[in-house]
Structure 1
Amino acid sequence: MKGFIGKAHKLFNADLVAGPQPPSEKRNPRPLSASKPSSLIAPSSTVGFSGMNSRSNLLPSIQDPSALDILRYRYHHATNLGSVYVLERWLSPSRFPQDTSGSSELEAVKAWVAKIGTEQTKQMFETCWANAILDEDIDWLRNEAKGTTVRLPIGYWDLPGEEFTRGTPFEPISHIYSNAWISIRDLILRLRAHNIGVLIDFHAVPGGANTNDHSGTNSNVAEFFTSPYNRKLGIRCAEFVARESAAGLQLAGISLVNEPNTDSETIYDWYDEATDAVSAIDSSLPIVISDAWDLKRAIGYSLRKNVVNPTKPINPIVIDRHMYWCFNDADKKKSPQDIIQEVSTKLSELNGKEGSVTDRGAVQVIIGEYSNVLSADTWVKTGETPKAELIKIFGAEQSLRYQQRAGGAFFWTWKMDWMPGGEWGFKAQSNPQNRFIFPPPHAFIPERNIFGLLECARNRKEERMWKAVDQHRAYYDHLAPNTLADHSRYEHGWKIGYADAYVFFEGKADEAVGPGNRLGNVELWLLKRIRESGFAGGFVWEYEQGIRRGIHDFNAVVGI
């Protein structure tokens, strides 16, 4: 067993420090037309740069990544906020009167109103919201935990205006939440000022997407997708957040619904309606959809939506996958060692689906929830290995896998009454003196070293570019010597990819986005760059592969 542990530690450390491998060039030559399309452009010999980010001789439609782009498309080493704006009694029992019969937000509010009245309940809730995240908490999240993003669970009742609770169980008590969105907005702005993005998560939608108490009630029914009224109200909620985003509230994304039941037959019809509504307001805001515990189906949907030439503007679609090994009976029969070995097989549904946005569309997965919790049934199968050691390996394996295959991972959770939270606690698992989950290696690069790494990237740009272009040209000349190609597209893409990765790593200090970021949601970023280019025809794939190689080469030069 000790040999297994040592191997796991070495594997984790080796994989984290190893440079990324270049994108594969293996692909079938394409049947191309005999004439060169007029849309092709001549290659630029150099990228002019003052700090590497001038694009005056690249496509005018391609601008530097913005501060908001970095917040949205970097790798998210992240956490969920916890039981603040959607109460769960197991996390925050102090928010419930002791004699409350239920465990949901609705039951807590009703019990407090009966006990102390509406106005005192309103004041108490507002005080709890205001004190949930202190400035020192934000400092810890950024500097100690190395967090980049917070998934912020909210309920439909937290939005301003009676229209969002009309016809729901929260209508009689909507007054208590009249300042909830003000509090949420203030928290978003405070986090943003410290280089932390926020993913708004509609954890509770009208009628409930599942039967659990984190849908807001203890009704034990899920009536969101079966009720036309609830479905329309859910879309109005998404539209509200989209309007806030369009008006300047900088969000990492919006998650439309949390953990819908697997038998929700009309879920993808509603996703279509919701994405159309949001796209009409702000088509840049990443939309996160739950996979409803069926990742293959969600991947198919994502590939159909994230196409390079949509008929109308549409938001990038991200898939939310939740990873737990403590709930179902099959996992309870496994030992910790079995589960640890299983981690590296997860997200294999993505195999063969990434790597060519031009051909297939884009797919990007985030882990919206995960923890280091295993069941009591699993822990009795531990053997002689100390539990703490197994938890550390489990957390390391999860961290590594998600950094390899996902655009980010959001631990469940940050805030609860019983801090620091054990294997459920982001605080406990992120202690710098004894980490059980691990930020990506680039999070530990001292800011004082980044200037030198950027200078190195500038100095090695030409060398890396011509090496990549020559390899690409030689590969295809050998593979299909008599097939038309336009390798200038590849060179052009390489320059954009290298410069994009540079800007992410450099950050935007004047806009409160610090340095040391790695482009993590690569598939969706490529989709964005291809759409912005206006390129069409048989050679777009060369542009895409050039961007991929440019990003890879920059990361290799600076060692991330």
Structure 2
Amino acid sequence: MTPSIFTCAAGPQIAELDIASGWGSPDSARTVLERHWDTFITASDFQYLASIGINTVRLPIGYWSLGPDFCQGTAFEPVAEVYQNSWSRVVRAINMAAESGIGVLVDLHGAPGSQNGQPHSGISDGQVNLFGNDWYENKTMAVLSFLAQELVNVTNIVGIQILNEPNNVDELPDFYARAITTMRSTSPAAMEFPLYLHDGFDLMRFSDFVANRTDFVVQDHHSYFVYTASDASESASHHTQDVHDFIAKDLGAASDHQRRNLVVDEFSCALTDQSLSGEDDPDAARRGFCEGQMEIYQNETAGWAFWAYDKENCFDDPGWCFKAAVGKSLPSTFFSYGHAPPTDPSRFPALSDMVSEMGSPSYDMTSTSDETTPSTIAAASSTPEIGLFPVRRRSRLRPERRSRSSLDTPRPQPSRKRDEPDPLPVDPNQRAISKGYSDGFLTAKIFALYGMSKLGFTGQYINDSLAKLGRKVIEPGTEHYYEQWFMEGLNDGEALVGSTVN
């Protein structure tokens, strides 16, 4: 990505450790890296991303980024002094993102001992020493504990990723379980904090892992089409067809299985020359491929991230550089509601008032053949705030999506004026439907007021809401009504926000 900083690196000149070990001395290497950290990404980059509707960035770091103490006993120990000012740069990047209203997912891209032997894990010797090595595993737990302690209460941190692209070894699920327990034990706030794990390119294995947990754990799956001989020889058009066909089906099945706690946090527009060579219009083929990926990842998962935002000679490489792809292979903007929130401060109160005053419609629902469905229901609650959480993290971009519930109840029709009092449901099923709808509708409003965002992790949000509400509000056996009607209220609320602000 940045070949210039490898010019005087040591060894194979392909990894972070080669840079830190080169340039004649640790002081010189530190100067090179600090200049890179200070100039490669600046506040203007976050401002640009916010201006086109990007609400989250994934920030890859290595364990060495935490400072010299974390380099001890690792391959980076001889060059630990190079990183004496590195953590402050990480903090600065997070704060710059916050100033532009952008959330940050901090990704442990390189773990002690290396999780995959790849240069992007920091080393160039190809060795995978993390798994099964008590020293490196304990060191990694210390790194993850530090990240949890430092970041969980930072308002624009949307999550921490435990590992990037680890080898899919037998021990990986147990490693993840230990890491999650370790991180959650650092503070009460960490108990509900989003923790991300990469699936080692085994989608269904870790779909089961996430589905069998109830806490906020998110699976990250990466999607590329250039690294195998079959990918290299397949045409761009066929790749696009694959994305819309079996890849969409696999992602959708996994997402449904694990309450939508799935993201594709690395994809690109990259295709081989061979894949493009048979296309009549290579640029159009790349655009169809790239926009097709974005559409599927939005529809079938909770969100996506592009690898990478910037690189040297960016505008010569729209396959790998987001800035070059925007407006060419990708859309020009990415706003949840199709356009930017107002930037004129004088318009903020008007927009806020407009959304805040959106009343939750009151409905009656006619009877159905399902005996457990109430014959009439007021789909608004007198206590809509119960079960909702402060919006402190931005959701991933997602389009409007209908609930996939198997329940087949008809859409309710308006029956009363908005300012008439709502009857208080006494039947448990009615209460679950009423509460679900009003909570979903209110959630759409809350997220809209927070940078015109939409809720991404719908299943986790609903599960957490049910846990907060408790059995006295949503009786056992009625949870499916709450879930279905939460989605109905959410979709109606988002539709009304869209029509209101547009």
Shared fold (TM-score greater than 0.5)?
yes
Q: Partner of 1:19 in structure 2?
A: none
Q: Does 1:406 pair with 2:307?
A: no
Tell me the residue number matched to 2:431: 488
Q: Which residue of 2 aligns with 1:547?
A: 486
Q: Does 1:137 align with 2:37?
A: no
Matches within 5 A, 1:46-445: 91-98=1-8, 100-102=10-12, 103-112=14-23, 115=24, 117-144=25-52, 146-162=53-69, 164-248=70-154, 250-262=156-168, 264-281=169-186, 282-306=190-214, 314=215, 316-345=216-245, 346-351=247-252, 362-382=259-279, 385-420=280-315, 421-431=317-327, 434=328, 436-437=330-331, 439-440=333-334, 442-445=336-339
CA distance in 2, matches of 1:257, 1:128: 24
Structure 1 residues 410 and 247 mapped into 2: Cα distance closer, same or farther (>3 Å)? closer
**1:173, distance to aligned residue in structure 2 (A):** 0.9
The amino acid of 1:160's aligned partner reads: G
The alignment partner of 1:125 has SS state of helix
Please, which moves more after superposition, 286-295 or 413-422?
Answer: 413-422
Mapped to 2, the partners of 1:353 and 1:214 lie a distance apart of 27
TM-score normalized by the length of structure 1: 0.72
Q: 1:243 to 1:368 in 2, by over 3 A?
A: same
Compared CA separation, residues 550 and 454, structure 1 to 2 (3 A): farther
Structure 1 alignment gaps of length 5 or more: 1-90, 307-313, 508-514
Single out whichever of 344-353 and 332-341 deviates more from structure 2.
344-353
Amino acid at match of 2:3: P
Once the two structures are superposed, what CA deviation does each residue of 1:329-379 show, in whole Å capped at 9, x if it has no partner?
Answer: 222232111111111232423545666xxxx76341111100011122212
Cα 1:232–1:274 change in 2 (3 A) is: same
Q: Secondary structure at the match of 2:314?
A: coil
Question: Which SS does the other structure have where 2:157 is aligned?
Answer: coil
Q: Is the 8 A contact 1:362 1:523 kept in 2?
A: yes
Q: Distance in 2 between matches of 1:248 and 1:377?
A: 45
Aligned residues: 434
Q: Distance in 2 between matches of 1:391 and 1:544?
A: 39
CA 177–403 in structure 1, closer or farther in 2 if over 3 Å, else same:
same
CA distance in 1 between partners of 2:36 and 2:359 (Å): 52
Q: Secondary structure at the match of 1:167?
A: coil
Distance change in 2, residues 1:234/1:209 (3 Å): same
In structure 2, relative to structure 1, the CA distance for the partners of 1:440 and 1:427 (3 Å cut) is closer
Q: Could you tell me whether the CA contact under 8 Å between 2:355 and 2:448 is conserved in 1?
A: no
Whole-Å separation in 1 of the counterparts to 2:252 and 2:306:
24
Letter in 2 for 1:348: K
Normalised to the residue count of structure 2, the TM-score between the two structures is 0.80
* Partner of residue 532, structure 1: 468
Contact 2:283–2:329 (CA<8 Å) still a contact in 1? no
CA shift, 1:111, in A, is 1.2
The 1:350/1:417 distance shift into structure 2, 3 A limit, reads: closer
Instruction: Give 1:522's match in structure 2, choosing from 458, 463, 469.
Output: 458
For residues 48-84 of structure 1, give each alpha carbon's deviation from its aligned partner in whole angstroms, at most 9, with x where no partner exists.
Answer: xxxxxxxxxxxxxxxxxxxxxxxxxxxxxxxxxxxxx
Aligned-pair distance for 1:289? 0.6
Give the CA deviation at 1:245.
2.3
Over residues 93-117 of structure 1, what are the superposed CA-to-partner deviations in whole Å (9 max), with x where a residue is unaligned?
11113464321110111112xx2x2
Q: CA RMSD in A?
A: 2.5
For residues 393-441 of structure 1, give each alpha carbon's deviation from its aligned partner in whole angstroms, at most 9, with x where no partner exists: 112111111110111111010122222342100100114xx45246545
Residues 266-296 of structure 1 show CA distances to partners (whole Å, capped at 9, x for unaligned) of 0000001000011112122211111111111
> What are the superposed Cα offsets for residues 196-236 of structure 1, whole Å, 9 maximum, x if unpaired?
01111111111111121111111112111131211111111
2:382 corresponding residue in structure 1: none
Alignment partners' CA distance in 1, 2:83 and 2:490: 45
What amino acid does structure 1 have at the position aligned with 2:11? S
Q: 1:437 to 1:236 in 2, by over 3 A?
A: farther
Counterparts in 2 of 1:352 and 1:485: CA distance versus 1, 3 Å: farther
The answer as to whether partners of 1:199 and 1:255 remain within 8 angstroms in 2 is yes
Alpha-carbon distance, 1:557 to partner: 2.0
Unaligned 5+ runs, structure 2: 376-426
Identify the residue that residue 46 of structure 1 maps to in structure 2.
none
Aligned mates of 2:191, 2:333 — CA distance in 1 = 30
Whether contact under 8 Å (2:290, 2:330) holds in the other structure is: yes
- Partners of 1:503 and 1:195 lie apart in 2 by 16
1:250 CA displacement: 3.6
Secondary structure (helix, strand or coil) at the match of 1:524 reads: helix
SS of residue paired to 1:195: coil
Flag the 1:361–1:373 CA change in 2: closer, same or farther, 3 A. closer
How far apart are the structure 2 equivalents of 1:318 and 1:239? Answer: 18
Identity %: 23
* Cα distance, 1:319 vs structure 2: 0.5
Question: Could you say what secondary structure the match of 1:283 adopts?
Answer: helix
Q: 1:444/1:158 Cα in 2 relative to 1: closer, same or farther (>3 Å)?
A: same
The 8 Å contact of residues 453 and 558 in structure 1, kept in 2 or not, is answered as: no
Tell me, yes or no, if the aligned pair for 1:151 and 1:198 is still in contact at 8 Å: yes
Q: How far apart in 2 are the matches of 1:137 and 1:124? A: 21
* Native 8 Å contact 2:374 2:429 kept in 1: no
Looking at both structures, which has the greater relative contact order when contacts are Cα pairs under 8 Å and sequence separation is at least 6?
1
CA distance in 2, matches of 1:189, 1:541: 40
Please tell me the residue identity of whatever aligns with 1:277: T
Q: CA deviation at 1:456?
A: 7.1
**Is the partner of 1:254 in helix, strand or coil?**
strand
Point out the more displaced range, 215-224 or 539-548. 539-548
